[in-house]
Structure 1
Amino acid sequence: MRMTLIAFAALLGLTACETAGGFGQDVENTGEFIEGSAQEVQNDL
């Protein structure tokens, strides 16, 4: 379920960017989201 949400968030982030700078920010935001999700899973274990 989480992987589906992560993939969906990444897709939305990538389709929302309009410039190369925007693309870089979207990739950074997606990475931070994935990192936060991974940290939550690790904390739950």
Structure 2
Amino acid sequence: MTKKLTLLLSVLTMSAVVAGCNTVKGFGRDVQSVGEAGEEAIN
């Protein structure tokens, strides 16, 4: 029972980490595109 619970928690934790990385990466792309658009507007 303890091994199953540990495995379940490990899988859930890894899923959250992977989802978080994708979210941060997407946010970074959005910020970069906003910066590029602002730079083009200034020039």
- TM-score by length of structure 1 reads 0.59
Partner of 2:40: 42
Backbone CA RMSD of aligned residues: 1.2
Moved over 4 A (4+): none
Q: Rg: which structure is higher?
A: 2
- Segments of structure 1 that go 5 or more residues without pairing to the other structure are 1-17
TM-score scaled to structure 2, two decimals? 0.62
Higher relative contact order (CA 8 A, sep 6+): 1
Q: How does 1:1-45 map to 2 (within 5 A)?
A: 19-45=17-43
Q: How many aligned residue pairs are there?
A: 28
